[in-house]
Structure 1
């Protein structure tokens, strides 16, 4: 998918602020409507590329043929901020069905009551959500027992690698463990006589493209919070191992300063000058959408895809990846919630629809049946990510009442850690936990 997947700090902070300021009681809607009666629904979504909007429109056309009494008016390129403002303001022009690319905020959508609880609709329709959706996708679309959203296609993060560079370095297969990964990154790195880089095996910096720390941290399958929602990163053993691994890799590849200077020479992530496409880096953490972009722009080398490596003591979990994606729900203020549910159910649970949409958008399907469908795009590079999405060891970043604030806190800390500005890691992690817990209390208050 050609839209930028990683959210900026400004966007996340703005969204969190809107949600925090919008904790007033949401407008009351109705689930007493007759979904067989003529009705017009408003569906707001974030897709904006021409091909993406065409895929959404095609899905709506299929739905309307099946439900001729329901007309759907779509509005695309809508941000979370716009949705939240509209739902707080209320009125007749608010959406009935809403979608979001920001799974980090699902905890706030559910706990604020802005998005309706879908469990009553699932039960009424006889939909067994655990049988339909992979567990990580259910995890990121619910919060503390409230299923206020459902997955609408997914993203899986894996490894892109330069096969020609691997062959030249004598590496016979993609790395499966973190020690193999570090060794491959060293072998694939070539320095110039002046000390710069001719080729970098892997760019470990957390500010590089899709390298947000939570995505690589997911390979350790950490427990982020205690049962009561308290941050436990300082007490989670894998936190120090993850940060230590990254710091060691930074050191092995030349140090933070030289790597950061080299990063500034890379082209834009979504351009034809992407550092992997131009051969400046030999391995890349990225999502399933990158494969289509590489094929459309072309490369001067052979490339392949594989799952990201896992810690050496979790070698049996190889195949795991970090999962996220788009979620869709019903606005609590909608007075046509039963009709809205018919649209949500069609978009998220109808196998033919999910497969068709996945093939068109080039995202991973979000149901077990669609993942196994023979009609799904058979491209081997794409199928790697289908396998990651279906792997029982794959994980998602957990929802929280403070939305993406805890992820922002981790990013800030990780930036300092990789730069060597955290002299006492244990003390720093305890301070990080306090920051996250303070943000959570502020949200609850």
Structure 2
């Protein structure tokens, strides 16, 4: 097993802003309680909309988290991102401005931009005239606005960027952060936060034809379930402080874990007959981490809740781990798919699973597709040691990404030999799917 090196990328801070919790402790507690953050949209009339549910953050009061001077300059997505990044920086107990001037960076994932801000200003343009349009319209709507505001707020002057690849971009941002550290950077504020739920933004989500039309929040987003009929979009995400391990060690930082592996692939053109790229991305990420499939304790699935996509992901997981070979979970069933913000939230969940020895449950799924042959953690969280986790993400247009995170302890192989999977509450002692009930490998 590869030993950690000073060039390793370690996570020292987590900031979460999610539909079921403001701040990491509140969100994690709600996740372990299986508390749903999917709810009806009530801030505008959805009578004529095919879908009327979203993972919305109900209790965020911007002026309590964002300086007043920034309120006129920012869309809701950026205000959420500023709050999450402030919490992540505070959690890491670091001041980026005290590090060498160009040694800190921001890498942010965003796929929707500032819909609410720009549509308000366009309405002014057509109803009140150009003189009434905010000067901040020139940048507040832009995908890079979050990264820019975070860098200004923290006096970060190193190479920064925004990644646009739908869900996959949330993991690509983390992979890019690790690349920056390997090229000499010391600290990267990385992750993703999204919000696009004004009338036009919600229409854009539903135009894909992949959004659930269910009216009951408990029945709307059912990944890997026989009733799956689309996902629920949501807002929020997570920001991570990722540091070079030697820098973190010098300041005696608390470390949640390491970004041990990362890979990205693209699907082939439709009709080519070639396989999709998710399984290859996962295998490449494992190789990058120097881990074998048996070293992975849990998979955080992409979980599109679109039957054909669920079938493809289940086949990819089965191709690597075998039938029922690894616990699989979808905590985003409580929040909806957060576009670029969702995968960083899954990485945060993976890190806290490692810390606490528990795998969060997949909510509301009570009719798993037998042919998937997945060990889906359902109903309640599962207590078990977690030393390494695989996080998967896909984006519209054929993007795939995978990240492997592992704990901050010593050699994974040594830990496993000492434990020998005999610890109370280990994976071997958890209820497993009854293979005798399997009726076939397809719907």
Q: What range describes the TM-score normalised by the shorter chain of this pair? A: under 0.3
Larger radius of gyration: 1
Bigger relative contact order (CA 8 A; separation at least 6): 1
Instruction: State TM-score, norm by structure 2.
Output: 0.25
Report which of the two has the higher share of helix: 1
Report which of the two has the higher share of strand: 2
